[in-house]
Amino acid sequence: MPDSNFIDYVKIYCASGHGGAGSVHLHRAKYIPKGGPDGGDGGRGGHIILRANPQFWTLIHLKYRKHIKADDGEKGGAANCRGKNGTDIYLDVPVGTVVKDAETSDTLFELVEPGEERILCKGGRGGLGNSNFKSATQQTPRFAQPGEDGQEGVYVLELKLLADVGLVGFPNAGKSTLLSSITAAKPKIASYAFTTLEPNLGIVSYHDGKSFVMADIPGIIEGAHEGKGIGIRFLRHIERNSVLLFMVSVEEEDISSAYKTLLNELKMYNPELLTKQRVLAVTKCDLIDKDIEKDIARHLPRKIPHVFISSSTGEGLAELKNVLWEALQQ
């Protein structure tokens, strides 16, 4: 399989800069034989800062940048001159990036607002110069503080896409076809399973200039929570969705059972996903007549709204938009 531009997981080593050492210096000038200490403080080491950039949608720019090191602060100088701070390094990441400690897998923070900045590795403080240590009993201190060491560590960056509606379904259920029908997205579409190998985003236009974002992820199969198939790897992308749109084809022998299977896979992966608003779309309804459609509707789950749609003919798509919009308002 060729390399994809969509990278949602990277592991990087980061090290901030060390603080500069304080200066040990005694002032000397004409007619001032005993000027006293005037050693300046050292500069701060450079930070490693993550910044959420809405123009980024993948972590591919960090895939080949495994080691990131900020500059050290400069040491202090004479005449109480402070050393120059190390240059901070800004790493732009997509909105929705989760940062974890690679050793413990603990989540450190998430960047969910455009322009949000968080310090990943804080630069070491600069040491104090000897001018800070003069006193009545110690008028010419000949020592200063060394700079603090910077921070370092190995971190995992994971991307969780921010979308309003997430599409959940078995492979070849028509998720990508729906996305291409009601948005300008152009995902790969074919009649074989696992055509979609990476998430796709599209913007659905609604009435009066309103819109919402829809995310299509690779299909889920039974046993996905145990690692079967490829959909489990991308399930984290729907954790932030407000509404889950379950898509089941009319070609399934038991649509209600297929829906419950999908629901169970989400429950096994993360039970909190079941607290989200749900809508059921029965796809490819152009393959059946209205009598069969009515018979199927009688056996569908009662607690969630359902819509019969056909992405190829456009049937039910307007109604689906209305149902999804109503779910998003709840």
Dihedral Cα 225, 227, 228, 234, nearest 10 deg? 80
The b/e string for 262-300 (b: 16+ C-beta within 10 A; e otherwise) is: bbebbeebeeebeebbbbbbbbbbbebeeeeeeebeeeb
Contacts of 34 (CB under 8 A, 6+ apart): 140
292 vs 33, more confident: 292
Average pLDDT over every residue of 288-309: 88
Q: pTM of the entire structure?
A: 0.73
Nearest to 285 by CA among 164, 201, 166, 177: 177
Q: Are 144 and 126 in contact (CB under 8 A)?
A: no
Q: Are 229 and 221 in contact (CB under 8 A)?
A: yes
**Chain-centre distance for alpha carbon 7:** 11
Given a cut of 80, is residue 86 above it in pLDDT?
yes
Nearest to 72 by CA among 60, 84, 62: 84
DSSP state of 220: -
The domain 1-159 is classified under which CATH number: 2.70.210.12, 1.10.3720.10, 3.90.1300.10, 1.20.1260.10?
2.70.210.12
Q: Fold match between 1-159 and 165-329?
A: no
What are the residue ranges spanned by the domains of the chain? Answer: 1-159, 165-329
Read off the pLDDT band of 99 (50, 70, 90).
Answer: very high
283 vs 6, more confident: 283
In 3-state terms, what secondary structure has residue 140? Answer: coil
To the question of domain 165-329 being in CATH 3.40.50.300, the answer is yes
Contacts of 137 (CB under 8 A, 6+ apart): none
The pLDDT, as a whole number, for residue 128 is: 96
Average pLDDT over every residue of 46-74: 92
The pLDDT, as a whole number, for residue 233 is: 63
Given a cut of 70, is residue 113 above it in pLDDT?
yes
Q: What is the pLDDT of residues 167-222, one digit of tens each?
A: 888 887 788 888 888 876 554 433 333 344 567 778 888 888 888 888 887 777 66
Nearest to 143 by CA among 310, 5, 52, 22: 22
